[in-house]
Amino acid sequence: MPSYIAPLEDMMFLFNKLRNNEKYNEIEKYKEVNSELVKDILEEAAKITQNLILPLAKSGDDNPPILENGVVRTSPGFKEAYKKFIEDGWISLSCDPKYGGQGMPKTVSAFFDEMLSSTCLSFKLYSELTIGAYNCILKHGSDEIKNKYLPKMVEGKWSGTMCLTEPVCGTDLGLLKTKAEEQSDGTYKISGQKIFITSGDHDLTENIIHLVLARANGSPKGTKGISLFLVPKFIVKEDGSIGSRNGVSTGSIEDKMGIKASATCVLNFDGAVGYMIGPKNKGLNSMFTMMNLERIVVGIQGLGISEIAYQNSLSYAKERKQGKANITKSENGADNIIEHADIRRSLLNMKSIIEGERALCFWLSQQTEVSLNHNDEIAKQQASDFVSLMTPVVKSMFSDMGMEITSDAMQIHGGYGFTKDLGIEQLYRDNRITPIYEGTNSVQAADLVFRKLVNKDGDIIDKYINLIKEEIKTSEEKVQPFVKQLNYYLEILTKFTNWIKEKIKDSKDDASAACNDYLKVLGFVAMAHAWIKVLEASFRDYENNKNFYEDKIQTANFYFNRVLPRVESHFKTATTGSKYIMDYKFN
């Protein structure tokens, strides 16, 4: 089983030194969320994830949930762990106090999301979709619905799901077949089948609140005719108690490559009672409240799995002896593999990407809070635009880098990494879903290029590039060598952006073929911008913690010299166009 120590020092560094967003600091309700409180929360989070959740990863992988007489039974130990998890209030961490939540900002809850992802992604998924459903109901549900369902969801006694995918429609939701027939009492009868439903059924909670996309009778075809419905596993009575079983049943549990302890279900809706959430035929708009936040969380999943893969790779490299380095450290026999240049390169590649991602995620968490909670509408809109721009980047970049990092972790462990003994191959398998679910990474890249660069609020990518230029303009002298490098790659991003905008107008194939490369370029530049913020704090406070800040500076050196130059390759590859792709004749 892999070991794990939550990176609390790095998390607290970000919270203490990079919480410098003026608009974020103006949010009144978070002014009492100070360093001491956050440190206490994260230390307790580290304890429960390291001691209670981590051991579930291997046992859950070895003993997946089973469907027995129509009942889904979760992996051994999950019920006991979940009971402790909700007793300690972890699901309520970022929820509204009005419904029993603790009201912590995403700048804090994102760190906890990372810890959970590092220790057992399968366990995390049982509560993660609950938070997603909570966010959707909170924004689009009626007061009656919110008062009836949210307190139990925040408490963790009831869980939630997101039911979109069907056998005939995944990305293309316009093909959706699930029907909703309106009843005389204003409820709907939901009929259809949903597949790949994460935490679709289980024995951890008293009730499961499904958010289901369906087409109401009389609605138009395509995505314009989709509505969103709340469909409980058990009907909830007027007094809030649980009543009879609804018309929802589990057809099967998927047998998956990874996240095996997560019950991914086929759900059958047979005239199930449902309640419309939000306006009729506007279901996709409502569901995207859940999906967009979920996409950022999927990126954090990739970050979390990368962190535990790196920690175990570093530990193994310090102990495993193989071959002799150019400058041998041992008088006889082999050297520890960490002395070999290529192993060190691989470890620094992991470390520099992980720490850049964490810093970028912290910046995005601040922007998210401003977009949701600031009093000034202009500030909210600008932050919302930046969140919209960076959501596909974080989802895709972090999950793709997670594949690279877990693959490199297996390589460092050699044959032992390929066996189940050390648990490294499980990290690779568990992460493999992250580039696929919540919209595949290719869909994210297309969304970025065709929808997010420019929208009704203007040229968002231009605003983002100008934001970076303005912020790095005032960097202190010691940071200037890094700023110079970033400016060089910012120019490439600008050229690439202009090329993309032109191709969108006159050659959609060229733009489509370049989408993934463009997303990577924006992602590497965004991480470099985050690294500049880290460097400014590191040089400014260097004397207070020399070892920590020297480590940051050296890691940044690797990122700027060995990772950021990937930008140039992606740019050159993409701008060759699509001719040799579209003209090729497949047999």
Q: Are 310 and 317 in contact (CB under 8 A)?
A: no
Task: Give burial (CB, 10 Å; 0-12/13-18/19+) of 168.
Answer: exposed
CA contacts within 13 A on the Cβ side of 346: 23
Q: How far apart are CA 179 and CA 190, in angstroms?
A: 6
- Spatial contact of 56 and 126, defined as CB atoms under 8 Å apart: no
Which one-letter DSSP state was computed for residue 213? E
Pairing relationship of beta strands 158-163 and 207-216 according to DSSP bridges: parallel
3-state secondary structure labels for all residues of 271-335: EEEEEEECCCCCHHHHHHHHHHHHHHHHHHHHHHHHHHHHHHHHHHHHHCECCCCCCCCCCCCCC
Short-list 47, 46, 45, 55, CA closest to 3: 55
Run of H or E residues at 207: strand 207-216
- Say which residues have a Cβ less than 8 Å from residue 172's Cβ, sequence separation at least 6: none
Q: How far apart are CA 228 and CA 132, in angstroms?
A: 14
* Buried b or exposed e, range 497-533, using 16+ CB within 10 angstroms: bebbbebbeeeeebbbbbbbbbbbbbbbbbbbbbbbb
Q: CA-CA distance, 370 to 374, in Å (whole number)?
A: 5
CA-nearest of 20, 24, 12, 79 to 382 is 24
Torsion of CA 507, 510, 516, 518, to 10 degrees: -80
**Helix, strand, or coil here: 265?**
strand
H-run or E-run covering 195: strand 188-198
Q: Would you say 329 and 339 are in contact if contact means Cβ atoms under 8 Å apart?
A: yes
Q: Are residues 374 and 383 in contact, defined by beta-carbon separation less than 8 angstroms?
A: yes
Per DSSP, the residues of 454-510 read: EETTEEHHHHHHHHHHHHHHT--GGGHHHHHHHHHHHHHHHHHHHHHHHHHHH-HHH
Instruction: Determine which helix (DSSP H) or strand (DSSP E) holds 266, and give its type and residue range.
Output: strand 264-277
Q: How far is it, in rounded angstroms, from Cα 476 to Cα 482?
A: 11
Write down the catalytic residue from 254, 307, 438, 536.
438
Is 294 in the active site?
Answer: no
Catalytic residues, which ones? 438
